[in-house]
Homo-oligomer: A and B are copies of this chain.
Amino acid sequence: MATISDIEVKSVCPKFHCAVELVGRRWTGAILSAMLMGATRFTDIIHAVPGLSDRLLSERLKELEATGIVDRVVHQETPVRIEYRLTEKGHELNDVITALSAWADEWIEAPACGGEASHS
């Protein structure tokens, strides 16, 4: 016989699972937060995220480009200027980042999280 608990359990939506694994990837949330605050240049993003290495930022930007969250815009000037811009898909993460910021303000005691090691 089905118990109440059996009836309650639903599977986590695969789309949600994809999304959380994508956005939750190490450093990605912080990079998105910096970009939502207006950072568009590689160096601006690096400066906005203490501890982030050039190598990891490159890697994450490539992933975000591949998933349609970021556009890489090359301005044909001298010297060539490259910008990273959030797409509509990227901008629409604003509500998620805002909700998580509010939760963090309320519940996280900085700087107690540790884990600043640079593994990807």
Mark A residues whose CB is within 8 Å of B.
5, 8-26, 28-30, 33-34, 37-41, 44, 47-50, 89, 92-93, 95-113, 115
Contact = CB atoms under 8 A, between A and B. Distances in A.
A13 B89 contact: no
Main secondary structure of the interface of A (DSSP, over half): helix
A113 B21 contact: yes
Contact of A103 (B19, B44, B108, B112): B19
How many copies the complex holds: the figure is 2
A115 B110 CA distance: 31
Nearest to A6: B44
A99 B96 contact: yes
A7 B44 CA distance: 10
Contact of A102 (B12, B26, B95, B113): B95
Given A9-B48, A44-B5, A105-B15, A21 B115 contact: yes
Nearest to A8: B38
